Amino acid sequence: MEYKVRNIKISSNQREEFWRDVEQNKWESFSFDLLDKYIKKDKLFIDIGAWNGVLSLYSAKLGARVISFEPDIVAYNELKDNILLNKDIAENIKYSMKAISNKNGFAYISNITEGFGNSMSSLINRENSKKGNKVECITLPKFITDNNINPSDICLIKIDTEGGEALIIPQCREFLKKYKPVIYLSLHSFWFPDRENDIKITEEVIYETYDVSDIRNGGIVLQANFEQRMKQYTCDEFILTPKI
């Protein structure tokens, strides 16, 4: 079926109710606001935790080149099907089942529900989560180096990994300091393995390079308020822009 998302046509044969919500601006309208602002034609959007590809597809339709990472096998297959269905932009999206993490090698991805595919799979072994699938992991800097990506070509990186941000952000510290890509960051601090310490490290890495803004409500998030905020919210979305 074909859906009209902000005057952009996107096809999908799955999750009709979800796509109707997207079409009617009922699902994460703030995400599309962000893409409308930061996605640049012929520049690169890196979608870490792409799920079914909704934001990857929209960004490609805006003219960006896209790399989508989704290690959940069910979500990955849905992502792949959606990309191939949108033939006009399929060549502009590269997709991988690798997980961006803090190491190169292999790890287990699990889900807190009975199955995969619902956007809540994570490399973090959360309480009551069942041992899941073995997936290949790679760090973001290594992936960029191995694929000869020019960091200056990146217009936006989205990181939404259900707690895996605690692994990714500290490992990328030097890369972020050097290249300062704009980042759309969804933080799930309640799933951080060592919550108090991981929050402090994440805060330290972010604020040494970026100004942090609240995506949902607008406004700058001061570093003095960040730690307490992370301990209160279940999920929080930020846009990280380089300090001037």
Q: Which domain holds residue 43?
A: 27-96+143-242
pLDDT of residue 61: 98
Q: Domain for residue 102, yes or no?
A: no
Q: In which region does residue 220 sit, left (phi positive, over 0), alpha (psi from -120 to 50) or beta (all else)? A: beta
* CATH code of 218's domain: 3.40.50.150
Long-range pairs of 196-199 with CB within 8 A, sequence gap ≥ 24: 198/166, 199/227, 199/230, 199/231
Q: Domain for residue 119, yes or no?
A: no
User: What are the tokens at 64?
Assistant: 């960006």
Task: Give the DSSP letter string of 71-86.
Answer: --HHHHHHHHHHHHH-
**Model confidence over 70-100: pLDDT tens digits?**
999 999 999 999 999 999 999 999 999 999 9
- Cβ(123)–Cβ(166) below 8 Å: no
Please state the pTM of the whole predicted model: 0.96
Q: Domain for residue 110, yes or no?
A: no
Strand-pair category, 105-111 with 93-96: unpaired
Q: Domain for residue 79, yes or no?
A: yes
Residue with tokens 């006009």: 88
- Indicate whether 226 pLDDT > 90: yes
**Model confidence over 185-224: pLDDT tens digits?**
999 999 999 999 999 999 999 999 999 999 988 899 999 9
Helix (H) or strand (E) holding 47: strand 44-48
Q: How high does pLDDT run on average in the chain? A: 95
Q: Domain for residue 55, yes or no?
A: yes
- Indicate whether 131 pLDDT > 80: no
Phi, psi of 47 (to 5 degrees): -110, 100
Q: Domain for residue 150, yes or no?
A: yes
Q: How many domains does the chain have?
A: 1
**Model confidence over 162-191: pLDDT tens digits?**
999 999 999 999 999 999 999 999 999 999
Q: Domain for residue 58, yes or no?
A: yes
